Amino acid sequence: MSERKKILLRLDPAVHDALTRWAGDELRSTNAQIEFLLRRALDGAGRMPKKTGEIPRRGRPRKPSADDG
């Protein structure tokens, strides 16, 4: 996987607060929520690059279920 790009993003404080609350509701960091929303917007607009990798999974690995075989 290639190195992740870093950017400085200036947001209205109310927008940042809303994103932070939304991210918390979905158990994501604010950064992960912003990337999730940007990817969804790109995909919806038909502009998602084909070579785009998956969003890196963070946190504790999922426990295998009985369906995993």
CB 19 within 8 A of CB 30: yes
CA 20 → CA 9, 11, 17, 40, distances in Å? Answer: 14, 12, 5, 18
C-alpha angle 7-23-31 in degrees, rounded to nearest 5: 15
pTM of the predicted model, to two decimals?
A: 0.73
pLDDT at 65: 72
- pLDDT by 10s per residue, the chain, length 69: 568 899 999 999 999 999 999 999 999 999 999 999 999 999 999 999 988 877 777 666 667 877 765
DSSP state, 62? Answer: P
Mark residue 27 as left, alpha or beta (left: phi above 0; alpha: psi -120 to 50; beta: remaining): left
